[in-house]
Structure 1
Amino acid sequence: MKKAFFLLLFFPFVSFALDGTGSVDFYSTIIPLLNKNAVLRELVLCNFDIVGDPMGTRIGDIQSKALGGDRIGPYSMWANWHGNSGVKPVILTINTHTDFVDAHGRKVGGDLQKAVRIEEYIESVTIEPPEKDQSESVPGGLKHSIEPQTCSAKNGQRGR
């Protein structure tokens, strides 16, 4: 029993140091990345409803004290693609290139302990078939919905 109690006390400290994935906010994380690439911004915002929270790779506290808990790409999310044959659930992934930067503005090679900030850019967008249990909507509603007026004005086809 003492061992179990000790492990339960120790577990929360260990869990914060582990790598993994974590959700990010679509508007504060994904939109700024999309704003750096007009073509991909239009592609994503005019053709997909974002259904679920985007998931990124979590940087652990052990790898970087300054960046521990931050998320980096690739960012995968459930989405509904508005194609010519109707709405189709897909997994949308925003693949990124990540540079880790030190306090002097120099890119850090392999030692993330020196990194104090992240610079991230979109390299590509991937679309995959949906997961078996993926639905077209989730509790809490859409994270982003296409804006027909904005998109139809740009490409003349999304004014449905």
Structure 2
Amino acid sequence: MAVRVQEGDFDVGAELDRLTKGNRRIGGLAVFVGLVREMHVREGLHRDRIDALTLEHYPGMTEKALEDIEAEANRRWPLEATLIVHRYGRMEAGDRIVLVAVGSPHREAAFEACEFLVDWLKTKAPFWKLEETPAGEKWVGAHEGDDAAAARWEKKAQ
């Protein structure tokens, strides 16, 4: 189980090799890689072109929040391996932002836990997002869709 917050890019293949090396109990590996997209899209509409994105975080607090989210996933599903790598700093369209990988004996648990981790880190991890657009810079707030996705897991915990 691992959480890293780093400025530099990551190698998805190398990360997955390290995560699964020697663990023959893993029968399913679910992976999510988040990228900086060029267009800001909400409700199916293209709004602003994004030239770059800067993510800021509070060192120590961010890692703790991600570790807590990861621990919750391990309480809910039978997991063999989890990995969250989240970048901070300035990134351009097409750059990788986040890697979430979950290994479990069964694919269903891997898929569900991966989706849970992505939903919760999107809403519960302390990152602040500044978008650079042709119209200038703007801080991005929470989106209702992200909150709704995270809330469905709250219901499942009860």
TM-score range for the pair, normalised by the shorter chain length: under 0.3
User: TM-score under structure 1 normalisation?
Assistant: 0.27
Identify the structure with the greater strand proportion. 2
Identify the structure with the greater helix proportion. 2
The structure whose RCO (Cα within 8 Å, separation 6+) is larger is: 2
